[in-house]
Structure 1
Amino acid sequence: MQPHRPLSDQARCRVGTGSNGRAAVPRRCRQRGRSGGGSGERGRVHVIVRAAEVSAPADVSITLAPLGASDLVVPNVAIGTMTFGEQTGEAEAHRMLSMAADVGASFLDTAEIYPVAPRPETAGATSSIIGRWLRGRRRDDSIIATKVAGRSAGLEWVPANRTDPRGPEAPLVLDGPSIVAATEGELRRLGTDHIDLLYLHWPDRYYAGFGRSQYRVDREWDYSPFSVLVAAVAQLLEEGKIRYWALSNETSFGVCMYCMVADALGVDRPVAIQNSYSLVHRSFEGELAETCSPRHFNLPLLPWSALAGGALSGKYLEKPPQGVEPAGPASRFSLFPDRYARFNTVRVQRAAARYADIAADCGLTPAQLAYAWAASRPFVGPTIVGATNAAQLASNLAFTSVELGPDVLAAIDAVHLQRRDPSLVD
């Protein structure tokens, strides 16, 4: 590992020191030139919440803006919920949701297969936990996004879980009937009559994803026509069961096809894309960023796993940074080693250590740096923030008041050039 050169005072993130001696982000509200996915400053509203209200180490700065070209106004943060019902119990999950709502982070991200790792015993638990939290609250105070699962072997129990009582197991594919059935299952679990944003979680066709970058023609198979999938979405839009739709784990080919088919059928285009994006996986910055640009199809990126499964939190390092609790037996890499293998490598940990050094120079936690960097990218809309408990969520949300200086961004890029996309497996 090359020695790390501390940044100059001018190069550091714009942070001060709080009354507890820890680094604190500034309380003032700043206009940033970047909008939520290229929509300019249209409809932007800034909200500042004091740290004491959320037991956070710093202030939380929430901005509101339309999502891409849509009229769906969303915060700059989406709360990732995939641990609810697995690593996070219901009481703690409700505490996290209430804390997030209190600071204006009202955009909730779930999926029909959550929690992760998906298994029959817990299938749909995340959305059910959210649904019970929503009871007694004004539905319009929350923005709910969920996802319809794509084709996958070994998940035959997912279609069975879409009905109550539970139906028969069947191969998991993404087709018209499955999109409708999955949406209705999520409406039931969430206890609502509409979903604000529906993602197609991953494609029905073969594609290179989840840590892979090389497309293998010999692995192609027949898949549902784009026109069939868009027609199912159109039905849900017409029935008022969803307000908008979006893509996830997609490629430029998929984005182009969905948008062009939607245009041909007279259906509203998807309004966003949710793909893997982090300091150790930056491949979106290439042709996908061009495809999704406001000048082209205008799909802001909502990055999932900005912490690379927790690898960028610093807790898996041999010597975790001060204030970061080392990973224990209940950590994700210990519980689900196969699922997170691509993030639990020497290559990723070496990069994570370099980024942790930069974070320390800024007076930030490694997680705050990772989230702040992702949010600073011009093609990123709301940043998905995950946590397993309320204290962790409060600390992570502090990134919203961090503005990384140009020298910090240059230091991050220097690490990237030396250790480019270390989480890729091919």
Structure 2
Amino acid sequence: MNYTNLPHTDIEVSKICLGTMTWGNQNTEAEGHEQMDYALEQGVNFFDTAELYPIPAAAERYAHTEKIIGTWFKKNRNREKMVLASKIVGRSPATSFIRTTGFNRESITAAVEGSLKRLQTDYLDLYQLHWPDRVTNYFGKRGYQYDGTDLWEDNFHQILETLRDLIREGKIRQVGISNETPWGTMRYLEESKVHHDLPRMITIQNPYSLLNRLYEVGLAEISHREDLGLLAYSPLGFGVLSGKYLGGRQPKDGRITLFPNYNRYSGETAVKATEMYHKLAMENGLSLAQMSLAYVNSRPFVTSNIIGATNLEQLKENIESIHIDLSDEVLQGIEAIHNQIPNPAP
């Protein structure tokens, strides 16, 4: 396993992070425990979760993923070996069963304390805002369009004040953002520069894959100049870049088969690009999944690559991507495809 540090900290994390959003829905508690056992054996010391998980979100399954991780910690008594990240859900009609108050002091505090209880731990190493409190472009929306319905008022300072107090209480160590735009990212960073007592956002968890390299447009420069680490999620595009849906296949346990509305990476252009990437991988003796993950692993702005799996074989293949160094020929082939079909999925 390769390791790096969360930016601006001495917290060492594996370059591969174990994503957990299927546990409690597509995966049982026993399967979640099995995945954590195997990942730890392979040197993965970084787990990412959220109060929203498992996905798709539902009131009857609220926070089941965190509970599964909590029982694993209780059983193994190894919390100190792991770097643990979680998130507070953003405001949305789809998450109104959790709360409707947005990121005010009461909601953030309650969310942190709820996660700590379910995870059976006293602290979180990284706490993230799952998506912006305001209406903007995220979750597959390519561009920003103001429609006049957003009643949001600037609350960057207040959010950071609340997070600062939770850090002082020892409940969280570091903070990050997720599904954020360049504007929102810089607002957080500038707020903590001007007000030195406020915590600095050190990571951003956004989608990044061969099918979606939009991070490179505005946020990659911020990563470079501000030392903000990307925690790349959906590096296989909901499993599309595993190749299992090629040829119109619909594997019965596949995420897109089970949840057809998760079709962000399944449009005609994305399928064409996937076919081209698959051909490139085959020509170079690689699986599509491992080439796709190895590419993400190699990007200089990526602090950790969040992989997910619904079975142990997938998990093994995904973790083994850390041992693959892509040749110049493969990298040039990837760029040629990207130039021909840039960012087919948002």
Alpha carbons 2:243, 2:288 under 8 Å: kept: yes
User: For residue 218 of structure 1, what is the aligned residue in structure 2?
Assistant: 147
**Paired positions, count:** 343
Taking the aligned partners of 2:137 and 2:296, their CA distance within structure 1 comes to: 22
Mean CA deviation greater in 268-277 or 357-366: 357-366
| 1:275 is the counterpart of 2:275 | no
User: For residue 270 of structure 2, what is the aligned residue in structure 1?
Assistant: 348
Structure 1 alignment gaps of length 5 or more: 1-61, 160-170, 320-325
Taking the aligned partners of 1:128 and 1:224, their CA distance within structure 2 comes to: 33
| 1:79 is the counterpart of 2:79 | no
Taking the aligned partners of 2:211 and 2:49, their CA distance within structure 1 comes to: 24
User: For residue 52 of structure 1, what is the aligned residue in structure 2?
Assistant: none
User: For residue 175 of structure 1, what is the aligned residue in structure 2?
Assistant: 104
Q: Deviations over 1:74-123 (max 9, x none)?
A: 11110010011111111111111000011110100000000011111111
Alpha carbons 2:14, 2:45 under 8 Å: kept: yes
Query: What's the TM-score, normalizing by structure 2?
Result: 0.96
User: For residue 106 of structure 1, what is the aligned residue in structure 2?
Assistant: 45
Q: Deviations over 1:11-64 (max 9, x none)?
A: xxxxxxxxxxxxxxxxxxxxxxxxxxxxxxxxxxxxxxxxxxxxxxxxxxx122
Report deviation, 1:151.
1.4
Higher gyration radius (CA): 1
**2:60 corresponds to which of 97, 115, 121:** 121
Are the structure 2 counterparts of residues 262 and 88 from structure 1 closer, same or farther at C-alpha, using a change threshold of 3 Å?
Answer: same
Alignment of 1:187-336 (within 5 A): 187-219=116-148, 220-265=150-195, 266-293=197-224, 296-318=225-247, 327-336=250-259
Which consecutive aligned stretches of 4+ in structure 1 deviate over 6 angstroms post-superposition?
none
Percent sequence identity is 38
| 1:147 is the counterpart of 2:87 | yes
**1:413 corresponds to which of 325, 335, 342:** 335
> Is the partner of 1:369 in helix, strand or coil?
helix
Alignment of 1:352-371 (within 5 A): 352-371=274-293
Code of the aligned partner of 1:308? G
Query: What's the TM-score, normalizing by structure 1?
Result: 0.78
Taking the aligned partners of 1:260 and 1:126, their CA distance within structure 2 comes to: 34
> Is the partner of 1:145 in helix, strand or coil?
strand
C-alpha RMSD of the superposition = 1.3
Structure 2 alignment gaps of length 5 or more: none
Report deviation, 1:217.
2.1
Instruction: Identify the structure with bigger relative contact order (alpha carbons < 8 Å, sequence gap 6+).
Output: 1
> Is the partner of 2:231 in helix, strand or coil?
coil
Taking the aligned partners of 2:296 and 2:329, their CA distance within structure 1 comes to: 16
Are the structure 2 counterparts of residues 223 and 341 from structure 1 closer, same or farther at C-alpha, using a change threshold of 3 Å?
Answer: farther
